[in-house]
Structure 1
Amino acid sequence: MTKKPKTAISPTRNEDYPEWYQQVIRAADMAEKSPVRGCMVIKPWGYAIWENIVRGLDDLFRATGVKNAYFPLFIPLSFLEKEAEHVEGFAKECAVVSHHRLEQGENGLVPAGPLQEPLVVRPTSETIIGDAFSKWITSYRDLPLLINQWANVVRWEMRTRIFLRTSEFLWQEGHTAHATEGEAEERTRQMLDIYAQFVEESLAIPVIKGVKSRSETFPGAVQTQCIEAMMQDRKALQAGTSHFLGQNFARASGIKFQTREEKEEYAWTTSWGVSTRLIGGLIMTHSDDDGLVLPPRVASAHVVLLPIYRKPDDQAAVMDYTEKLARRLRALRYHDRPLTVEMDTREIGGARGWEWVKKGIPLRVEIGPRDIRSNSVFVGRRDSGKKESISTDQFVADICGILDEIQTNLFQKALDFRQTHTKTLDDRDTLYDFFTPENAGRPEIHGGFVQAPWCGSDQCEAVLKTDLSVTIRCIPFDSEPTTGSCICCGSAANQQVILAKAY
């Protein structure tokens, strides 16, 4: 009987993927549940990843002319009612403030002072930002208006999971207004391309860019574009969206401008956003049965130095050598940010190294008396598990290149995984077999992505969702037109779509 290999995380991915995910977060000390149902506390190690995401995306946004602003957390109910389709799409998720103070009741504090108009805690800000735009924009000279805000939003969720789906989460939401339809459509695609670039280059997660089906389109939008990623349980994760809103929200909010020809027209608007869900995607894409694995470009820290000595007489020399190395490394820059170095001097034996494995830090460096004598360090890579002794000077010279190699390796590994588990199918029975687990009711990784012909019918889409819990993730931008038969109903198909189970 083959002995099961020892892993730091239990259960493993294959044993119980949802629980494995929770245990990775716990072992890496990234976040925890809060006393408020469905909300999370993001701890420093997890929040540092978000800070790096914010920094990277903000630079990309600014390079296209976008400027940051901030808008109220509370939205008057009447604002949401202006856009019927929008409010219908979010009504079940809205948190509502109905009173403006508390007072002492017989059994404790109770709400008092009903508001004249209830306030909705923002689920998204199209309506309140639209109100501001209606005041800021009067002429074609005021366009384009390119605004972003970093904020929190609230959407009451029934089934929550840290980072992936919580009642409150952090995100950015961009909102732009344009003089022409073409400019707004161009901005919609431009921002999606920025998301794809960042997620692939910085988070090392390969994505598919495409358009959402009508039923999956953002409420009130003309078109929703998205990036979709495959997790290690072969489910899809929507990693970012960019919406072309046409003139729908401009009409609802009264965003008008005078053209060069002195005619009054409604502006064309867009909105686009990503959230802390990206951290969940990162965890599910790269981590293994020993814990978190972090891509260097968004890692909370790049390298940890672990001084090792058994004799008290060696302590001073080892610590001095380690501190000097830390100073040399901190003087370096990696992709326009300082190289981040942790130094762990706790005397807890072998558990210290395992903690950093579980936290996913890209490089672990051990330094002991023998290393000092040979002017070398012992380096362990988190991505491959490779360990080797390297001269200290060579390590300092090569560390940025090693980190880039780790980044590339993680992306390629994720891309290979997606390609392995993506099928092109045109037969309904084969599709149903592909998405049906062998042991129903037990944790089991199955399925993947399927590229298949679709007739465009909402009914076919609904059937797949009901029968298989499968949705159309997107209509890929790069898919070829098809003349085949719809994989669901057999009628003439006019497009290829990506089908998958999803978060």
Structure 2
Amino acid sequence: MAKELKELTPRSKDYSQWYIDLVTKAELAENSAVRGCMVIKPYGYAIWEKMQRQLDDMFKETGHVNAYFPLFIPKSYLSREAEHVEGFAKECAVVTHYRLKNAPDGSGIIVDPEAKLEEELVVRPTSETIIWSTYKNWIQSYRDLPLLINQWANVVRWEMRTRLFLRTTEFLWQEGHTAHATKEEAIEEAERMLNVYAEFAEKYMAMPVVKGVKSESERFAGALNTYTIEALMQDGKALQSGTSHFLGQNFAKAFDVQFTDQLGNRDYVWATSWGVSTRLMGALIMSHSDDNGLVLPPKLAPHQVVIVPIYKNEEQLNQINEKAATIVEKLKSLGISVKYDNNDNKKPGWKFSEYELKGVPVRLAIGARDLENNTIEVARRDTLTKETVSSEGIEFHVKQLLDDIQQNIYQKAFDFRASQMREVNSYDEFKEEIEKGGFLLCHWDGTAETEALIKEETKATIRCIPLEGDKTPGKCMVTGKPSAQRVIIARAY
């Protein structure tokens, strides 16, 4: 394991390779036999499950319920909303046949030409169309509203360049789809879910985010407005970490979803959709981890604490086992997830390296001397510091330590982002500063032409128009035309 750690590419040398090394060596995921797809390994999936469980609780607290909709979408459904189909057309995988057969010449299996579908099916890139075709049957009256549905699913978007968790052909996500009686209710819902995402990112992922609105060219296909949370990774690049969309009545009109209001009038419902994906795994890794491996916030770590025995003989091991069992019970009584690793085919030093690589927040070590002195060695992953403390009340010490680690990880990420947010007032200055990375606060004239020019010449995009902060008007750094407020521009994943 020590040798494997040495093979972890330093961030300063090659950030992209560091990320790939970390994902694979920490056993989070690996590439599959299917190009562009990944296998999420048990340790990586355990982190995703914690994310999923917490988000699901937060969704249900805001009145949402879960359902499931088909993986396959009739091709004709996508064509009903023009902007939507244009936005996803190049990423769709299409099913054209429903049967295989043995080749007549015995060369293997072929697609049966007689089994061609009457209408091709698109493998779900997102579910607006199939869901709104269903909502037509569910919504008749204002009494059926609001309809607040979420689903946990997989989607397929055909990608040419892929990277584990950050961009894969198939990925896991949740997608909420809601229907409302008024425009105001739908906008309120879209903003509410953006705030849920921001709370999750900051409180659980320990990842500071900026809440904002996407520019028109960066909006979700078919949306009237897209809200986003944007995070800054350690290499100075932005990562879109969650989006919430106000869809207006576009999909309701496309699928004729109308309701009768309290006055007996018929109208189209107002819609939202919102989602986060396994891309959050990439965000978690790149926000906090270091050259020694993962750094996980305690609230999302599969094991918050690991206990490692250090012994010379079976008698010492038995005594440590007894001591550790008591500590495990006390920690679990406080809701702390703990693993006692007394596996005898790995040495303590190997285990220390493994759990450091995997980002376990707190490591406890118990040796023969600790038994005599009633002490225990406590190591924290975020600072790589150790201390020896009394084993009496260790559970309360650890609980406080986990809270401290959660806050310290967030503060470190917050301070880094603060150091990388800079106001830029001229285009020449911007071209210099963008090479250093970070969130650049710039005035923009609001036109798609200026936005496209910036992207073409610098490979940077408008990440969002911030919802909070300084709203002072100014002049566009490119054209000198009036600008309503500063926007955040960065290079991004």
1:186-240 per-position Cα deviation (integer Å, ceiling 9, x unaligned): 0000000000001100000000000000000000000000000000001000000
The range that moved more, 143-152 or 393-402, is 393-402
Contact 1:453-1:482 at 8 Å conserved across structures: no
Quote the RMSD (CA, aligned, Å).
1.3
8 Å contact kept, 2:473–2:486: no
Residue equivalent to 2:75: 77
Whether 1:103 and 2:119 are equivalent positions in the alignment is no
What is the CA distance between 1:8 and its match in structure 2?
4.2
1:152 and 1:168 in contact (8 A); partners too: yes
Q: Are positions 1:270 and 2:260 aligned together? A: no
Distance in 2, matches of 1:100 and 1:480, equals: 56
**Which of 40, 44, 47 is the aligned partner of 2:45?**
47
CA distance in 1: counterparts of 2:181 and 2:487, whole angstroms: 32
The Cα shift of 1:496 comes to 1.3
Contact 1:302 1:362 in 2 (8 A): yes
Does the Cα contact within 8 Å between 1:150 and 1:173 map onto a contact in 2?
yes
* Matched position secondary structure for 2:468: coil
Structure 1: unaligned runs, 5 residues or longer: 1-5, 437-445
Contact 2:307–2:338 (CA under 8 A) maintained in structure 1: no
Q: Which residue of 1 aligns with 2:86?
A: 88
2:352 counterpart residue number: 353
Cα offset for 1:482?
A: 3.6
Q: 2:437 aligned with 1:460, yes or no?
A: no
Residue 159 of structure 2 corresponds to: 157
Shift in Å at residue 7 of structure 1? 6.3
Q: Aligned residue for 2:401?
A: 402
- Aligned-pair identity in percent equals 51
Q: Does 1:67 align with 2:69?
A: no
Quote how far apart the aligned CAs of 1:373 are: 1.1
**Deviates further, 97-106 or 469-478:** 97-106
Answer whether contact 1:134 1:256 (CA < 8 A) is retained. Answer: yes
Q: Verify the 8 A CA contact 1:453 1:496 in the aligned structure 2.
A: yes
SS in 1 for 2:483: coil
SS at match of 1:172: strand
* Corresponding position: 1:257 with 2:259: yes
Amino acid of the structure 1 residue aligned with 2:189 = R
Contact 2:424 2:430 in 1 (8 A): yes
**Structure 2 counterpart of 1:493:** 483
Give the Cα separation in 1 of the matches to 2:23 and 2:340.
20
Distance 1:327 1:343 in 2: 15
Q: Which residue of 2 aligns with 1:114?
A: 116
Structure 1 position 342, deviation (Å): 4.3
CA 1:344–1:173 in structure 2 vs 1: closer, same or farther (change >3 Å)? farther
**In 1, distance between residues paired with 2:206 and 2:368?**
37
Conservation of the 8 A alpha-carbon contact between 2:74 and 2:121? yes
Counterpart of 1:410, as a letter, is: I
Q: Alignment partner for residue 31 of structure 1, among 29, 32, 36?
A: 29
Which SS does the other structure have where 2:475 is aligned? Answer: coil
**Aligned counterpart, 1:300:** 302
Aligned to 1:443: none
For 2:423 and 2:72, how far apart are their aligned partners in 1? 46
Q: Which runs of 5+ in 2 are unaligned?
A: none
Q: Is the 8 A contact 2:48 2:281 kept in 1?
A: yes
Tell which deviates more after alignment, 203-212 or 99-108: 99-108
Cα separation, 1, equivalents of 2:145 and 2:6 = 55
Deviation at 1:145? 0.3
Q: Give the match for residue 428 of structure 1.
A: 427
CA contact (8 A) 2:149 2:178 kept: yes
Report the equivalent of 2:415.
Answer: 416
Q: 1:205 to 1:8 in 2, by over 3 A?
A: farther
The answer to whether the 8 A contact 2:31-2:37 is kept is yes
Q: How is 1:173-188 mapped onto 2 (pairs within 5 angstroms)?
A: 173-188=175-190
Cα drift, residue 49 of structure 1 = 0.8
Find the counterpart in structure 2 of residue 483 from structure 1.
473
Structure 1 residue 352: deviation in Å?
1.5
2:89 partner SS: helix
Q: Once the 2 structures are TM-superposed, how far is the Cα of residue 480 of structure 1 from its aligned partner?
A: 3.2
- The 5-angstrom pairing of residues 123-134 of structure 1 reads 123-134=125-136
Residues 163 and 280 in structure 1, CA contact (< 8 A), matched pair in contact too: yes
Q: Secondary structure at the match of 1:370?
A: helix
**Once structures 1 and 2 are overlaid, which stretch shifts more, 103-112 or 30-39?**
103-112
Indicate conservation of the 8 Å contact 1:329/1:341, yes or no. no
**CA–CA distance in structure 1, aligned partners of residues 325 and 36 of structure 2:** 42
TM-score, structure 1 as length reference: 0.94
Structure 2 residue aligned with 1:3: none
Code of the aligned partner of 2:248 = G
The aligned amino acid for 1:12 is: P
Structure 2 counterpart SS, 1:88: helix
d(CA) in 1 for partners of 2:476, 2:47: 42
Given the two structures, how large is their TM-score scaled by the length of structure 2?
0.96
State the match for 1:17 in structure 2. Answer: 15
**8 Å Cα contact 1:9/1:20 also seen in 2:** no
**3-state SS of 1:435 partner:** helix
2:227 maps to which residue?
A: 225
Contact 2:301 2:360 in 1 (8 A): yes
